[in-house]
Amino acid sequence: MKMARLLPRFREAYRSFGELENRESWSRAQMDAFQLQRLNKVWAHAIVYVPYYRSIQAELSLPRYFESLEEYTDSVPILQKSFLQTNSRDLLSERPQPGRWHRTSGSTGSPLTIFREHEAHHEMLRANYRYYRMWGHDIFDRMVFLWHVTPINTPGFTGKIKRGREYVEDKLRNRLRLAAHTLGPKDLQLYLEKIAAFKPSAIYSYSRAAYLLALEAKKQGFQCPSLKVITLTSEPASEHVVHVVQEGLGAPCNIEYGCVEFGFVAGQWPDRTLRVRDDLVLVETLARPEKLFDIVLTNLNNPSYPLLRYDIGDVTDQPIELAERGFSILGNISGRCYDLLYTPAGRCLHPIVVEDLFDGTYFKYVRRFQIHQRADYSILALVELHDPANVPNTAQLAKRLSVLVDGCPVEVKIVARIEQTTAGKHRNVLSELVDVDLPTP
């Protein structure tokens, strides 16, 4: 770990903490001016080198420089995710800075790829590191990821590279990665044993996975004195879920809000407010008829792939609060909301196990998918194709899905379209089984 601290990206991170902390107490006027300056820099590049915004600026006679944030939000049209899914290359700059493509998980039903500059990515990571320092966790302190784990036997060269990269990064960053794919009692008991032996400072987890881990921890009388904070992300977490996680795992719990398109967007501070990292992203909340608000995001540091007024597909229960001093405050967010999968043997599976199958093997065929688990444990898999003429082997897909859920009967049905399931993000898994381990608050 001492050698890793000498790497340029981490040395820069430690140097940045003073400035990042200073911005957190800026007045609203200071932050507005800073956001406008960064926005205009991104916009100036976009209208010259990014095909989509070059066309929009000419078509709508938009200014080359915005005098205020209000002028920007009043004049630039919303960028819909559906457009990005089919025209992603139109958002890439003709003169991009060094960076790489990132692929989303498809929580709106269809994955997409976005490009992020290396410097923009590292700046986002530095902000995330600063956030953890609020909770007493340093960059190289031990952390447990209850998250995605690429299987060791993943087929293909790309899969092996991905697995190898995970292994190296985890070693470098002092992380223990536990698979959130399977969450049965025996799995959770083993995880608790590993966590106790590892003595982490922090846990980073899907909300539902941490909840199930905490329930098992209460049964086992689990204790981990080294644990300082548990971060819940990727799925909504009610006050009930937060309470159970804190009680079961014995450490403060916070909510993190982010996405592949933007990385770290907001985090819950020790005062329990969900604070937007205003120096990296501009957040709008636009009213919906059902008294909810669409979350619209603008990146302020990635001109090579500018997502400006991008409707991310999430909703919140109240408008953003622009504090007189300090970062703005978001309300409760409804993003992914998944059901769990169950097997007759009593195993509980996180929906990521299904996502991994579709993303890893069938992404060339499948545009959207949705799993319906019936009360008798049988499964209906609805599949929407990119090209109706290019159909995967549905019998093979059904067999592979059945293996994942301990032999439950699986029917795969090709459909013309899969409708969105909620006002927020798409639910890939719907189950009729009673979730007995998850009482309502």
Question: Is the confidence at residue 159, as pLDDT, over 70?
Answer: no
Instruction: Specify the pLDDT at position 111.
Output: 65
**363 and 392 Cβ atoms separated by less than 8 Å:** no
Which residues have CB under 8 Å from 26's CB, separation 6+?
Answer: 34, 325, 326
Confidence of residue 317 (pLDDT cuts 50, 70, 90): confident
Question: Is the confidence at residue 183, as pLDDT, over 90?
Answer: no
Of 334, 357, 381, which one is at a domain's C-terminal end? 334
Residue 329 lies in a domain: yes
Phi, psi values for residue 316, rounded to 5°: -130, 160
Q: What is the CATH number of the domain that holds 170?
A: 3.40.50.980
Q: For residues 319 and 218, state if they share a domain.
A: no
Of 334, 351, 367, which one is at a domain's C-terminal end? 334
Q: For residues 233 and 293, state if they share a domain.
A: no
Residue 36 lies in a domain: yes
What is the domain range of residue 188?
136-251
Q: What is the CATH number of the domain that holds 75?
A: 3.40.50.12780
Q: For residues 55 and 81, state if they share a domain.
A: yes
Residue 261 lies in a domain: no
CA dist., res. 388 & res. 403, Å (int) = 26
Q: For residues 230 and 307, state if they share a domain.
A: no
Instruction: Specify the pLDDT at position 162.
Output: 73
Number of domains in the chain: 3
Q: For residues 237 and 286, state if they share a domain.
A: no
Confidence of residue 79 (pLDDT cuts 50, 70, 90): very high
Side-chain-facing half-sphere of 22: CA atoms under 13 Å: 6
Q: Say what the pTM is.
A: 0.80
Averaged over 213-236, what is the pLDDT? 93
Average pLDDT over the chain reads 88
Residue 74 lies in a domain: yes
Residue 320 lies in a domain: yes
Of 200, 219, 251, which one is at a domain's C-terminal end? 251
Higher-confidence position of 299 and 420: 299
Residue 262 lies in a domain: no
Summarize pLDDT for 94-130 with one digit per residue, the tens: 999 999 998 765 554 456 789 999 999 999 999 999 9
Q: For residues 359 and 421, state if they share a domain.
A: yes
Question: Is the confidence at residue 232, as pLDDT, over 60?
Answer: yes
